[in-house]
Amino acid sequence: MNIFPQNMLAEYGKRFSSVPQLYFSPGRINLIGEHVDYNDGFVMPAAISKGVYYAVALNGGKEINFYSHDFGEAYTTGADDIHKEDNWKNYVLSVVNEFKLLGVEIMGFDCVFGGDIPRGSGMSSSAAVEGGLALALNELLGANLTRMQLALLCQRAEHGYPAVQCGIMDQFANMMGLKGQVILLDCQSINHVYIPLQIEGYQIVLLNSKVHHTLAASEYNVRRKQCKEGLEIIGSHTEVKSFRDISGVEELLQYKTAMRDEVYKRCLYVIEEINRTELASKYLHENKLIEFGRLLFETHNGLRDLYEVSCEELDFLVQLAEADDAVIGARLMGGGFGGCTINIIAENSVTRFIQSASEAYYKKYNILPEATIVETADGVTRLEG
């Protein structure tokens, strides 16, 4: 039984007198298409059953009261005094601020939230925090935004107080996810289709390295700038405005000497990853899982050598996967510099692989990785009762 909704209700009951509405806001996996959402590429995320639970109600006053269960911290501000703070507060306050910027009247509310996504794990706890509050406020403040609008609002919120220039993938998966489906999202047009996640005989397993290098947020914004720089160099000679206008690696090669070496490497990765994701979606449709899995290993190599967002702990976990016949694909997942690897593993070898990989990782780093067998889920949901 999932104890989180009960925990949130109990915590809420200790602090506030009203009866709250409960929400579940999922984290996400991403099968392939990493660091290309902000580069007009394709991504393949799915919402998962791990996430953040919210208990929220209007309080009839002008005060906004938050309690973060995971941090054990409370924070209060006035509905007319929304401003930047620090840490977890920025994620929730920025969401409220985005409603305000749309002209929605902000009323006082009470809110308790917490969940089971380890922070810095690459499963996007931040989008889960944003999305849960956004759906709740959309209903309670009568803002009437669509899920698509809410996903975009949450992305703007993350650009706001937390100042992470993220793409749209995490917030989109969080709002638009469907159980049993992965989303193939074209981040240039924001068109999406659902693909049933039929991987009979295999399971998707996340291995959390439990390391999180502090570079993650700052380097993320640096990567974004480097890609923009590369695109501008190509665009100054051609009509190219987007990575999608570039015909392929051959075209990029023409500009290699005009680019700083690291900018060239970032662009090369992006072009290759966009192609890989298109190919991956074809393989998934054709149920060619072995070929699909191989692309994940290729993505990891690109993230390690060209995009340079891996770290030795993640490389080690992927090496273990690659050396094991039961694992048909693995790579680091999410922003990088720590967090999880995603692995596609033959069902009958899941337990054995988790055990042997955990032992090897522990032996080398003195850290026991945490394994999660992925279950997909619907996007943010109001829970009954």
Query: What residues act catalytically?
Result: 170
Retrieve residue 127's tokens. Answer: 């989008």
Instruction: Let me know: does 365 contact 312? Beta carbons within 8 Å.
Output: no
Angle in degrees, 0-180, between the axes of helices 147-159 and 87-101, rounded to the nearest 10: 130
Q: Which two tokens stand for residue 71?
A: 């941090």
Closest separation in Å from C-beta 13 to ligand GLA? 34
What is the contact surface with ligand GLA in residues (CB under 6 A)? 34-35, 37-38, 124, 166-167, 169-170, 334-335
Least distance CB 196 / ligand GLA (angstroms):
23
CB of 204 to ligand GLA, least distance (A): 17
Nearer to ligand GLA, 110 or 170 (CB): 170
**In the complex, what is the shortest distance from the CB of residue 283 to ligand GLA, in angstroms, rounded to a whole number?**
20
312: number of Cβ within 10 Å:
12
What minimum distance in Å lies between the beta carbon of 371 and ligand GLA? 20
Count of beta carbons in the 10 Å neighbourhood of residue 217? 16
Q: Which is nearer to ligand GLA, 35 or 210 (CB)?
A: 35
CB of 289 to ligand GLA, least distance (A): 22
Contact (Cβ atoms closer than 8 angstroms) between residue 93 and residue 85: yes
H-only helix segments in the chain: 4-15, 87-101, 125-140, 147-159, 169-176, 215-235, 249-253, 261-285, 289-305, 312-322, 350-365
- φ, ψ of residue 48 to 5 degrees: the values are -125, 165
What lies within 8 Å, CB to CB, of 68 at 6+ separation is 74, 75, 88, 113, 114
Which of residues 299 and 358 has its CB atom nearest to ligand GLA in the complex? 299
| List of residues 6+ apart from 330 with CB closer than 8 A | 293, 296, 297, 300, 317, 318, 321, 322, 341, 342, 343, 344
Q: Which is nearer to ligand GLA, 141 or 333 (CB)?
A: 333
Asked whether the beta carbons of 150 and 105 are under 8 A apart, the reply is no
3-state secondary structure 43-104: ECEEEEEEEEEEEEEECCCCEEEEEECCCCEEEEEECCCCCCCCHHHHHHHHHHHHHHHCCC
Question: 138 or 155, CB closer to ligand GLA?
Answer: 155
> How far apart are the two ends of the chain, measured CA to CA in Å?
16
Give pairs for 76-81: CB < 8 Å, separation 24+. Answer: 79/106, 79/107, 79/108, 80/106
| Of residues 38 and 109, the one with the C-beta less far from ligand GLA | 38
CB of 36 to ligand GLA, least distance (A): 7
Complex with ligand GLA: residue 171 or 358, whichever CB lies closer? 171
